[in-house]
């Protein structure tokens, strides 16, 4: 299984998880077997400066991810990930190591749209 995690910096397991997946500077890709991380790599987010809805989920899909973990993401992004067969998980905070342990231990499984997403939906905007 490949887990993608939105992060603010390029520090491997010590990278800090980003609250907004689409606006993060980097993604960590963790290849996992069972509950053991086999390998991780940090890649730049090519859409950090800006993107249209769906571009980041497609990029993550093209990286072969099965799961996308972030601090938060919008409803449309959650829908895009689900269409690609990627399981979105929100509520991640702290470091990559902390979030991986929490996810692999069953501590985070569901994706909920962030408050900003809900607010934008009511105002007619988007957030992903």
Where does 2-123 sit in CATH, by number?
3.30.420.130
Question: pLDDT > 70: what percent of the chain?
Answer: 85
Quickly state the pLDDT bin for 13 (edges 50, 70, 90): very high
- pLDDT number for residue 114: 55
Tokens representing 37 are: 């991380």
Radius of gyration of the chain (CA): 13
Q: Give the residue extent of every domain in the chain.
A: 2-123
- pLDDT number for residue 125: 43
Taking the C-alpha atoms of residue 64 and residue 115, their distance in angstroms, rounded to an integer, is 28
Q: Would the pLDDT of 122 be above 90?
A: no
Tokens representing 57 are: 């989920």
Mean pLDDT over each residue of the chain, to the nearest integer: 86
């Amino acid at each position: 299984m490949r887990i993608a995690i939105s992060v603010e910096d390029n520090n491997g397991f010590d990278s800090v998880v980003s609250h907004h997946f689409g606006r993060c500077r980097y993604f960590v890709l963790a290849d996992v077997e069972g509950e053991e991380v086999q390998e991780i790599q940090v890649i730049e987010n090519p859409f950090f400066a800006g993107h249209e809805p769906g571009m980041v989920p497609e990029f993550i899909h093209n990286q072969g991810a099965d799961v996308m973990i972030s601090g938060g993401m919008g409803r449309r992004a959650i829908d895009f990930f689900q269409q690609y067969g990627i399981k979105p998980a929100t509520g991640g905070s702290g470091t990559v190591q902390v979030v991986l342990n929490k996810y692999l231990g069953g501590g985070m499984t569901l994706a909920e749209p962030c408050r900003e997403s809900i607010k934008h939906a009511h105002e007619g905007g988007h957030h992903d």
